[in-house]
C-alpha cells in the first residue's frame, strides 16, 4: 500500500514507471522512448522524478533499474491487463529486428506470451531451446521447451499443433535424458506423451483418408 501511494504521487511519471515495469527490472531510456508517446524531454524529467523518489536508480548512462523487484511488481500490477498486453506486444515487436532476438529469443517469447500472442512465443521458445541444445545447455533447453508446451493449449488444436507438440516432447525427452539420466521419470513422461501424440496423429490421418475415400465414392 505504501509503494502504491508513492507511485500515485508521481503524477505523469507513474505511467513511465508502469511502462518500464513491462520491460523488466532493468530498462533503458531508448526502450521508454520507443514505447511511450512522450517526447524525450518529458521522459528525461519523468526519469529524474523516479530517481529522486527513490524508486529507481541509474545503473549507467541511459540505463535504469527499479531499486527492488517489489517496486517493479507494484507498478506492473497497477496497470490494466489490456494495457499490459499491448505494451508487451509493442516491446516484443520493437526488439524483433535487434540483437535481442538473436541473443535472447526466450526473453521475447516471455513478452509475447504475456501479450497473449502464444504462437509467436512458442516459435521463439523453440528457437531458444534448439540453440541451448546446440551448446549442450540442456537445462536451459528443458526450461524453454517446458514453457512452450505449457501454453500450447492456448492455440487452436489442429494438425500443426499436434506435430509441434510431438517434436517438442521428443526434444524434451532427449534433453531430460541427457541432463538427468535414462531413469529420469520426467524423460519417461515426455516420451509417453510423445507416444500418445503419435497415436492421435495416426488416428487423425486415418480419418482424413477415410473422408477422402468417401468423397470419391459415386
Please give the average per-residue pLDDT across 186-191, as a whole number: 94
The model's confidence at residue 162, banded by pLDDT at 50, 70 and 90, is confident
Note the pLDDT of residue 216: 45
Cα–Cα distance for residue pair 163/159, rounded to 1 Å: 6
Q: In sequence order, what E strands does the chain have?
A: 26-28, 56-60, 63-66
Cα–Cα distance for residue pair 39/107, rounded to 1 Å: 27
Q: Which residues contact 103 (CB under 8 A, 6 or more apart)?
A: none
pLDDT at 170 over 60: yes
Model's pTM, two decimal places? 0.85
Q: Identify the CA nearest to 148 among candidates 181, 91, 106.
A: 106
Cα–Cα distance for residue pair 128/143, rounded to 1 Å: 10
For residue 154, what are the CA distances in angstroms to 113, 161, 162, 201, 205? 10, 10, 13, 19, 23
Does residue 161 contact residue 152 with C-beta atoms inside 8 Å?
yes
Note the pLDDT of residue 12: 81
What is the share, in percent, of the chain residues with pLDDT greater than 70? 93
Q: What is the mean pLDDT of the chain?
A: 88
Q: HSE of 11 in the Cβ direction (CA atoms, 13 Å)?
A: 8
Cα–Cα distance for residue pair 68/76, rounded to 1 Å: 13
- Annotate 77-115 with b (16+ C-beta within 10 A) or e (fewer): ebbeeeebbbbbbbbbbbbeeeebeeeebbbbbbbbbbb
Note the pLDDT of residue 209: 41
Amino acid at each position: 500500500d505504501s509503494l502504491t501511494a508513492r507511485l500515485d504521487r508521481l503524477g505523469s511519471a507513474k505511467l513511465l514507471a508502469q511502462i518500464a515495469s513491462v520491460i523488466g527490472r532493468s530498462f533503458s531510456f531508448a526502450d521508454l522512448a520507443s514505447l511511450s508517446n512522450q517526447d524525450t524531454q518529458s521522459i528525461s524529467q519523468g526519469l529524474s522524478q523516479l530517481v529522486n523518489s527513490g524508486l529507481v536508480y541509474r545503473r549507467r548512462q541511459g540505463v535504469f533499474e527499479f531499486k527492488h523487484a517489489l517496486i517493479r511488481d507494484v507498478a506492473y500490477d497497477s496497470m490494466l491487463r489490456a494495457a499490459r498486453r499491448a505494451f508487451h506486444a509493442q516491446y516484443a515487436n520493437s526488439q524483433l529486428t535487434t540483437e535481442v532476438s538473436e541473443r535472447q529469443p526466450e526473453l521475447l517469447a516471455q513478452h509475447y506470451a504475456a501479450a497473449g500472442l502464444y504462437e509467436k512465443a512458442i516459435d521463439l521458445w523453440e528457437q531458444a531451446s534448439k540453440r541451448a541444445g546446440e551448446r549442450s545447455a540442456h537445462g536451459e533447453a528443458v526450461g524453454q521447451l517446458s514453457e512452450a508446451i505449457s501454453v500450447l493449449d492456448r492455440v487452436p488444436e489442429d494438425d500443426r499443433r499436434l506435430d509441434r507438440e510431438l517434436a517438442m516432447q521428443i526434444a524434451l525427452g532427449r534433453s531430460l535424458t541427457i541432463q538427468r539420466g535414462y531413469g529420469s521419470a520426467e524423460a519417461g513422461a515426455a516420451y509417453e506423451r510423445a507416444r500418445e501424440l503419435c497415436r492421435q496423429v495416426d488416428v487423425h490421418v486415418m480419418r482424413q483418408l477415410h473422408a477422402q475415400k468417401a468423397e470419391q465414392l459415386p
